[in-house]
């Protein structure tokens, strides 16, 4: 489905960013396959170190696996949402001449950017998400059956309510101008 079916408000990047919210209560309604495909395709467009895409995404459909993941993320129940994506670091894909520690940093940055792009795509598609970073990496590795280390889990679904934005820090507290 082309983006032409969306209004300019739906796809204006600044508007999309301002509307993105973390959601902890999802409607059980399944997400249309084309929306899932758009979210995954958007992750593929995220910038990566040397364009090597040092990440992999595990799309968890199995309900039993989702239930196990809930336990691996400090019993956060929203991990059992309609769409669950586990972003893993794969530094072996980054074919740059740097120490292994640097390649691992590139891989976590790659996985993080892919997840962030996925969240923005979900927002455009009238979905909501929550980023889970507090995970038991060893348990997640075992549950999804990989040797790759997870960096985050993104849970996506239809929100049960529209959330208002929370107060943010004043930009002057965050931005430091040098020179």
Residue 112, beta-bridge partner list: none
DSSP-derived letter for residue 55 is E
Number of domains in the chain: 1
105 part of a folded domain: yes
* The pLDDT value given to residue 169: 75
179 part of a folded domain: no
Residues 101, 121: Cα–Cα separation, whole Å: 31
8 part of a folded domain: no
Query: Structural domain of residue 145, as residue ranges?
Result: 21-161
Task: Say what the pTM is.
Answer: 0.86
CATH of the domain at 95: 3.40.109.10
1 part of a folded domain: no
Q: Are 125 and 42 in contact (CB under 8 A)?
A: no
Per-residue pLDDT of the chain (179 residues; tens, 9 = 90+): 445 555 555 667 767 666 666 777 888 899 999 999 999 999 999 989 999 999 999 999 999 999 999 999 999 888 888 999 999 999 999 999 999 999 999 999 999 999 999 999 998 998 999 999 999 999 999 999 999 999 999 999 998 877 666 677 777 788 888 88
CA proximity to 30, closest of 160, 161, 158: 158
15 part of a folded domain: no
From the number of C-beta atoms within 10 Å of its C-beta (0-12, 13-18, 19+), residue 18 rates as exposed
3 part of a folded domain: no
6 part of a folded domain: no
167 part of a folded domain: no
């Amino acid at each position: 489905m082309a983006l032409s079916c969306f209004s300019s408000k739906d796809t204006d990047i600044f508007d999309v960013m301002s509307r993105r919210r973390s959601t902890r209560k999802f409607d059980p309604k399944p997400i249309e396959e084309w929306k899932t495909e758009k979210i995954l395709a958007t992750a593929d467009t995220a910038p990566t170190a040397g364009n090597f895409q040092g990440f992999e995404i595990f799309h968890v459909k199995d309900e039993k696996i989702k239930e196990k993941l809930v336990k691996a993320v400090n019993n956060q129940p929203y991990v059992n949402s309609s769409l669950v994506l586990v972003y893993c670091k794969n530094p072996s894909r980054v074919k740059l001449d740097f120490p292994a520690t640097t390649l691992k940093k590139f891989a976590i940055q790659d996985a993080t950017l892919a997840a962030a792009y996925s969240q923005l795509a979900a927002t455009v598609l009238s979905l909501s998400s929550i980023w889970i970073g507090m995970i038991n990496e060893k348990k997640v590795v075992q549950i999804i059956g990989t040797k790759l280390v997870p960096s985050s889990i993104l849970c996506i679904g239809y929100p049960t309510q529209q959330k208002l934005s929370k107060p943010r820090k004043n930009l002057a507290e965050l931005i430091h101008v040098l020179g």
